Structure 1
Amino acid sequence: MSNLVQADEVELVLDLHADIGEGPTWDAATGTLVFVDSTPGRIYRYDPSSGGLSSVRVGQAVGAAIPRRNGGLVAAVRDGIGLVDETSGALELIAPIEAGIADNRMNDAKCDSRGRLWAGTFSTSFTRNAGALYRINPDHSYARVVPGVFISNGIAWSPDEKFMYYNDSGSRGVDVFDYDIDEGVPANRRRLITFDRADGLPDGMTVDAEGHLWVAHFRGGAVRRYRPDGTLAGTVKLPVSQVASCTFGGADLRDLYITTATHTMNAEQLRREPLSGALFRCRPGVAGLPANPYAG
């Protein structure tokens, strides 16, 4: 195991003081990074070539926002899945997933190469196993695929899409499924990595071109790289503890963007970690995989 990047080698991109910076996705069509501040329901779009930053609020908590194949964004929000007007913030709900469960809301989301959206829920009162993982098809139909989830979080696939990786943060581990890309069906779930309390909670996740997993450790102060067999390959140290998610971006997909949070931190914690809630970037020496847009 080696430290791929030390905390003082990570670049501060945007000092946003986000409550929970989440769901970063590289939009190759526009050369921009899309990410969210979950609690206030704000979606950001950052252009690294110009330094420009735009944002829009959608009126409810948002776990992730993902580019659509034909333009625009789809978002995982409190009441389900919606299409977003980036000019006004208007939200068109297309899949009212668990909208009738007052304490539940959508969290992280990701698309497979066929343009299916995968998104999960959790209970904001942290009722154990009250959430689930859903598949939202391009025709906006949806199905509950993995029930009994505590805190649905990172989703990723191996480069050949034979395996699907999944973080239920409350279980303190990363699970792996066999994945049928033709049918969009995961099977044979098993534990790949189990974390100690000192590691923090597994949050957002991505996979690089070599098939290694990159896991954000919330309250663990790092993004860690894991081999496909679950062994630790390296660590990116951050100057903050609440590391929420990560993705590869840039023209060569070699920039690792990392979102962080200030959620529930008190004044003393914020004094010790003044860059909490910021967007960071580093170049750890490996390329990522292109993000898949939603086909609906």
Structure 2
Amino acid sequence: MAQVNSPKLVFFAQSTLLEGPTFSKDLNTVLCVSIEQERIFLINPSEQTVKTFKTRGQVGFAVFEDDRHIIYAAYEGVFRLDILTGEETFLYHLINDPQIRYNDGKWDPKGRLLLGTTGYKCFKENQCALYSHDGKSAKVLVSGTSISNGIGFYKNYLFFIDTPTRKVGRYLYNENGDVTFDKYIVTIEGSGVPDGMDIDDQGNLYIAIWGGSRIEKYNQNGQKIGTLAIPALNVTSVCIAGNKLYITTAMHDDGTSSEPMAGGLFVADKF
């Protein structure tokens, strides 16, 4: 398996649940969210600057819409945020149950926004979903989920993680954004469960292992071909930025300080 360099801390967010890194090459900026602190961070690693925005309740994810705007999904709904002025615009809200919130999200190759859900301060077993919104209307892609997490695309497939299953599902994904379940391509063994995920141009899956202190890499045959140790038990997500990986982590559930960098954003060489 691949051997890699040790990850380095980029930004210590002191977050109980730092999540959802995504990278803008144009801005040279990493976007991520602190779910429970209701914060969005824009981090420029080369300039060592951080810009922070408060969200409308717990925030599941944020994504770049263009160089000036981001879309974020929080407890009160989905909003567009102007990162220059701080002005917000409410877009829509897909959730009717006050015990459910948005979790992971990502653009598809056609510009539709996929939004996963999970329980809000409780576990909602098989009561959540993965949605798709095309800017006008929404539809359910995968129903009966519990903790909707990692989302990725490769060729004509959608890859999706419902964390308690410990599996990565592969779905046929057509031009209209409709899905048909194909198979489970990966099952996580050992400590921890799968959380966030990204996929590179060769179809390799990089999966964050919550409770496992690592990133695992799999090929399209479902074979594990690399592991990266992270100095935090709860590894929440990962994104690819050229030849780098940006990795988010969360503090210990018990609030201990045995991992002084947990709750921070890390960078490592892509492996």
Q: TM-score range by the shorter chain?
A: over 0.9
TM-score under structure 2 length normalisation: 0.94
Give runs of aligned pairs for residues 181-192 of structure 1, distance below 5 A.
182-192=175-185
Is 2:118 the counterpart of 1:122? yes
Instruction: Give the conservation status (yes or no) of the 8 Å contact 1:117–1:136.
Output: yes
2:128 & 2:87 partners in 1: Cα distance? 26
- The 2-side partners of 1:80 and 1:176 are apart by 28
CA distance in structure 2 between the partners assigned to 1:240 and 1:209 by the alignment: 28
1:56-205 equivalences under 5 Å are 56-69=53-66, 71-86=68-83, 91-98=88-95, 100-124=96-120, 125-139=122-136, 141-158=137-154, 160=155, 162-180=156-174, 182-196=175-189, 198-205=190-197
- Alignment partner, residue 256 of structure 1: 245
Gaps in structure 1 of 5+ consecutive residues: 286-296
> Any unmatched runs of 5+ in structure 2?
none
- Seen in structure 2, the aligned counterparts of structure 1 residues 176 and 147 have a Cα distance that, compared at 3 Å, is same
Which whole-Å CA distance do the structure 2 matches of 1:108 and 1:4 have between them?
29
Cα displacement (A) at 1:29 = 2.5
Is the CA contact (8 Å cut-off) linking 1:164 and 1:177 kept in structure 2?
Answer: yes
Give the Cα–Cα distance (whole angstroms) in 2 for the partners of residues 15 and 89 of structure 1.
Answer: 23
Aligned to 1:288: none
C-alpha distance in 1, partners of 2:23/2:166?
27
Q: Judge conservation of contact 1:20–1:263 (CA < 8 Å) in 2.
A: no
C-alpha contact (below 8 Å) 1:56/1:87 kept by paired residues: no
What's the counterpart of residue 241 of structure 1?
233
Alpha carbons of 1:79 and 1:129: their partners in 2 closer, same or farther (altered >3 Å)? farther
Return the letter of the residue paired with 1:241: L
SS at structure 2 position matched to 1:170: helix
Which structure carries more relative contact order (alpha carbon 8 Å, separation 6+)? 1
Q: Following TM superposition, by how much is the alpha carbon of 1:90 offset from its aligned partner in structure 2, in angstroms?
A: 5.1
Counterpart of 1:224, as a letter, is: E
CA contact (8 A) 1:135 1:145 kept: yes
TM-score scaled to structure 1, two decimals?
0.86
Q: What is the CA RMSD across the aligned residues, in angstroms? A: 1.6
